[in-house]
Amino acid sequence: MSNGNPAELDAKSMRVQKIIQKIESGAIKIPEFQRGYVWKQLQVIELLESIAKNYPVGSLLLWEAEKEDKLKSSRNIAGIDLPDLPDKYPVQYCLDGQQRISTLFGVFWDHANPVGSSHYNPDQDIFEVYYDLEEDLFFHANELDKPDKKRYFYLRNLLNQERLISDIMNNGYSQDNQKKISQLSSKFLNYDMPIIEISNRSIDEVGVIFERINNTGIKLNTMDLMTAWTWDENFHLRDEIECLVDKLENHSSFKLDSTLILQISSALITNSTSSRSVLSISPNTFKNNWEDICKSIERAIDHLSTALLCKSGKYLPYKQLICGLSYFFFHCKTPDAKQVDSINAWFWISSFNRRFDGGNTTQKMDSDLNDVLKIMNGEKATKLDNLRITEEILMKSVFNIRNPLTRSFLLLQAQLNPRDLINGNLINIGNVLSNYNRKEFHHVFPDSYLKQKMNISTKDERFKLLNFCFLSSASNKKISNKSPSDYTKQLIQADKLLDILKSNLLPDQTSLYFDNHYNNFLRKRAKLTIATLQSMIKGK
């Protein structure tokens, strides 16, 4: 540059062997905030094939840091324990391209010191690659059964001249194959990787560049960016989130993804779930609030499990509902009965309205925060008029556990403490709604009865959502293909029938079952479902 200062971004190239040498010496490192090695076998092979064919493989982005800007911690590359340069020498940190350089280093360097203690480390077998000299193809070692050394060349020997010569001399390759090995070695030795170097910039400025990269197409997600913003020796966001995810999954059967956790965190701090809002949070603000964020999410999950009987995330109609609930418990430490009733009403309206169908989830989540804020302030934010589910929608719906409406319907049934249709015992909702057991949901009008006796050939007609209830496998076997008129009279005690029906959100007009009125049953149950739902929302 004209003023003599180093360029902010300097485009150049570097040969593969030089990259490997710099990694080996400790001159190229991977920042702690980068994700671990995630490539699969196919991606390793595709990179090697691209270089062998002189195809472009994308540029590397390296940030050169002087002594005062060096990171206090970095990760090994390809699971190899590597040295640190003395403070007086600059270090280049790979901001983008770590999967590629890790692959090349893992495949070609004769690593003697793999590290197995970190979850960031890959399985070293992924770097064991051979080149088929007859087919001109790359193969992983686990794809070959005792590879013929005269046909398959071990790639780790390709770039080291001493090992290359030893391999050729000891394995009896034909003249043609020796020539192929030499040509392949030349291709890799002379392949230039495009490099973009950032220099003369502090770590704070690199953060801005890091975000800019994300906005221009290089695949760095919000999680990567936030890990970079908040990182220090005592706080590793990715590890903290993984710890929270594991805790929720192990203790509560709820598996949350990192993106949702970041959105919830942003909602609690900035009142918005957008990526821009997530990235606007200062590192100190994030770290200082992290403990309360975790507690709020845990309280939201606990409320779902205990108050709403949603025992597993697999039965939650929409995962985004956790955001509104977390926001509620973050700002409302000791809610009163009215507030709890209102937040529950909000949950039911959102679930049955299929709130998060059709996209725009960020805008909807942000709008939810306003509704929850009204609830905290004692306002009536969940009016009955807001409920848009209709009897017609319920009548048309087909049972599918992957459908949010099905999950909403099951949770609504659970609120009534359902009893087994045959023996009248209370259904163990905690067990049924925590194990994702499809066998615990069965037809009221049996499938085979509808098909064989009522000539309903269309599966969707037989598998109507309204034709399902909680039922143990043992009781379902007793019912088998009996008509409702048969099993209600033969298997259910007459004095228990009405209580059992009501507990399962089933119409208590016994003529529907005694006379096998399937369509009338569906209509009556749709009406009953709407009425039950409304009763939970009225006056909240």
- Please, are residues 193 and 13 in contact by the beta-carbon 8 Å criterion? yes
- 28 to 65, 127, 247, 317, 527: CA distances (angstroms): 10, 19, 35, 46, 67
Q: Is the pLDDT of residue 112 over 60?
A: no
In the predicted model, is pLDDT for residue 7 greater than 60? Answer: no
Q: What is the pLDDT of residue 205?
A: 60
Give the best-scoring range by mean pLDDT among 99-113, 280-294, 428-442.
280-294
Instruction: Residue 66: count other Cβ atoms within 10 Å of its Cβ.
Output: 14
- Which one is predicted more confidently, 81 or 214? 81
Task: Say yes or no to pLDDT of 409 above 60.
Answer: yes
Over residues 270-282, the mean pLDDT reads 85
pLDDT of residue 210: 54
pLDDT for residue 356: 93
Highest mean pLDDT among 12-21, 156-165, 508-517: 508-517
Longest dimension (CA), the chain: 96
**Residue 207, pLDDT above cutoff 90:** no
- Percent of the chain residues past pLDDT 90, beyond the cut: 59
pLDDT at 117 (0 to 100) = 47
Q: What is the average pLDDT across 369-390?
A: 86
| pLDDT tens profile 475-503 | 989 999 999 999 999 999 999 999 999 99
CA dist., res. 300 & res. 322, Å (int): 6
- CA distance linking residue 55 with residue 343, whole number of Å: 57
Q: Torsions phi, psi of 29, nearest 5?
A: -130, 165
Judge whether 340 and 307 are in contact, CB under 8 Å: yes
Q: How is the chain split into domains, by residue range?
A: 1-220, 232-386, 392-537
Average pLDDT, stretch 146-172? Answer: 90
Residue of 491, 508, 489 lying closest to 500 (CA atoms): 508
pLDDT digits (tens, 9 = 90+) for 60-109: 888 888 766 666 556 677 777 778 888 888 888 887 788 999 999 999 98
Q: What is the pLDDT of residue 232?
A: 61
pTM of this prediction exceeds 0.75: no
Work out the pLDDT band at 349, boundaries 50, 70, 90.
very high
Q: Give the C-alpha separation, 158 to 184, whole Å.
A: 8
Q: Alpha helices, DSSP H only, in 76-156? A: 98-108
Q: Pick the closest to residue 425 from 533, 500, 332 (CA basis).
A: 500
Confidence grade of residue 174 (pLDDT, cut at 50, 70, 90) = very high
Name residues whose C-beta falls within 8 Å of residue 183's C-beta, 6 or more positions apart in sequence.
none
Find the angle CA(93)-CA(97)-CA(99) to the nearest 5 degrees. 110
Residue 211 makes CB contacts below 8 A (sequence gap 6+) with 225, 279
CB-CB neighbours of 243 under 10 Å: 12
Q: What is the mean pLDDT of the chain?
A: 86
3-state secondary structure of 510: coil
